[in-house]
């Protein structure tokens, strides 16, 4: 650790940072200079303005990887594949985010940055797509035809959302691109509440998940609190870090809801065909 700290490069003010990294006008200092892949990895061990972004998703990633499997039932097979989908859904957004934030200062420049941003948005698309699979499955238990049609329709919406987010010219456009899958999930949760389908105790965590994810997106869009005091939140407690924490909490609530649903599904197996 001490050696890595000693090797920390001289950080840049905003005016000297690569143009593709200056996306937040209220973060004025702490930018990493362009470096090799090894240099990007070394930045895990010294202070800069992306360190908080890395660890606010890196720590939850480790927690999800270690703790999620033990909270789920893994039999019968119909439940096991739902558990696997959920595990990938929980891990994908923080993993993609960590890779994005670690390597965004790579000397390959703006071209690599755009691919990393697409990867980051892909993680969001994965949790949207796979995260809802148990929610939809428990809305149509033991009805493979309608369930498959609903999953296909939802998957198409998620694909369109990713396409729109990658092509969006602004943060607001990227947030709006995921409105379709969100409305679909809310409709499914509403139908489940009305019909008493699945684990009813899962519905409140799902609602909180949606609220936390939306709040995180709005905080990131508004760029508060750094908008109020430019330069004061360059390293800690800026909008992107707060968004990361809110997203991690949203995934946690998703996990609580899915765990309840999968335990319900394990207790209510479908009769043999």
Give per-residue pLDDT as tens, 25-35: 999 999 999 99
DSSP 236: S
In a domain? residue 17:
no
Label residue 151 exposed, middle or buried (CB < 10 Å: 0-12, 13-18, 19+). middle
* Mean pLDDT for the chain overall: 95
Read off the CATH number of the domain in which 250 is found: 1.20.1070
Number of domains observed in the structure of the chain: 1
In a domain? residue 15:
no
In a domain? residue 46:
no
Report pLDDT digits (tens) over 153-170: 999 999 999 999 999 989
pLDDT mean over 45-64: 98
- Under the banding of pLDDT at 50, 70 and 90, the label for residue 4 is very low
Question: Which domain range does residue 154 map to?
Answer: 51-267
**If we measure between CA atoms, which residue out of 119, 120, 189 comes closest to residue 154?**
189
- Under the banding of pLDDT at 50, 70 and 90, the label for residue 271 is confident
**If we measure between CA atoms, which residue out of 132, 107, 142, 117 comes closest to residue 35?**
107
In a domain? residue 13:
no
Helix, coil or strand: residue 106 = strand
pTM: predicted TM-score of the whole model, two decimal places: 0.94
Helix, coil or strand: residue 242 = helix
In a domain? residue 19:
no
In a domain? residue 242:
yes
pLDDT mean over 75-99: 96
Residue 1 clears pLDDT 50, i.e. is over it:
no
- Under the banding of pLDDT at 50, 70 and 90, the label for residue 270 is confident
Backbone angles phi and psi of 35, in degrees to 5: -150, 175
Report pLDDT digits (tens) over 92-126: 999 999 999 999 999 999 999 999 999 999 999 99
**What number of other Cβ atoms are within 10 A of residue 156's Cβ?**
12
Residue 8 clears pLDDT 90, i.e. is over it:
no
Report pLDDT digits (tens) over 215-232: 999 999 999 999 999 999
Distance CA 168, CA 221 (A): 14
In a domain? residue 201:
yes
**If we measure between CA atoms, which residue out of 55, 38, 37 comes closest to residue 4?**
38
**If we measure between CA atoms, which residue out of 189, 99, 77, 78 comes closest to residue 141?**
78
Residue 3 clears pLDDT 80, i.e. is over it:
no
Residue 6 clears pLDDT 70, i.e. is over it:
no
Residue 273 clears pLDDT 70, i.e. is over it:
no
Residue 177 clears pLDDT 80, i.e. is over it:
yes
In a domain? residue 188:
yes
Distance CA 198, CA 262 (A): 9
**What number of other Cβ atoms are within 10 A of residue 3's Cβ?**
8
Residue 2 clears pLDDT 60, i.e. is over it:
no
């Amino acid at each position: 650790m001490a050696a890595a700290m000693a090797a920390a490069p001289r950080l840049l003010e905003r005016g000297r940072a690569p143009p593709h990294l200056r996306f937040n006008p209220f973060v004025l200092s702490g930018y990493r200079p362009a470096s090799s892949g090894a240099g990007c990895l070394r930045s895990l061990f010294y202070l800069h303005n992306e360190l908080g972004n890395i660890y606010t998703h890196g720590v939850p990633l480790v927690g999800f990887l270690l703790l999620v499997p033990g909270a789920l039932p893994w039999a019968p097979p119909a439940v096991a594949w739902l558990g696997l989908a959920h595990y990938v859904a929980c891990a994908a957004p923080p993993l993609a985010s960590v890779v994005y934030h670690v390597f965004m200062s790579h000397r390959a420049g703006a071209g690599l940055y755009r691919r990393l941003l697409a990867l980051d948005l892909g993680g969001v698309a994965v949790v949207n797509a796979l995260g809802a699979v148990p929610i939809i499955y428990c809305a149509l238990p033991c009805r493979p035809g309608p369930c498959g049609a609903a999953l296909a329709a939802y998957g198409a919406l998620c694909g369109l959302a990713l396409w729109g987010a990658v092509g969006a010219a602004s943060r607001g456009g990227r947030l709006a691109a995921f409105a379709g899958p969100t409305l679909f999930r809310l409709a499914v949760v509403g139908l489940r509440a009305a019909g008493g389908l699945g684990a009813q105790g899962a519905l409140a965590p799902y609602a909180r998940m949606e609220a936390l994810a939306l709040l995180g997106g709005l905080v990131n869009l508004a760029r508060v609190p750094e908008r109020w005091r430019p330069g004061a939140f360059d390293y800690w407690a800026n909008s992107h870090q707060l968004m990361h924490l809110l997203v991690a909490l949203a995934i946690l609530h998703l996990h609580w809801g899915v765990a309840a649903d999968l335990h319900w599904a394990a207790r209510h197996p479908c009769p043999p065909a």
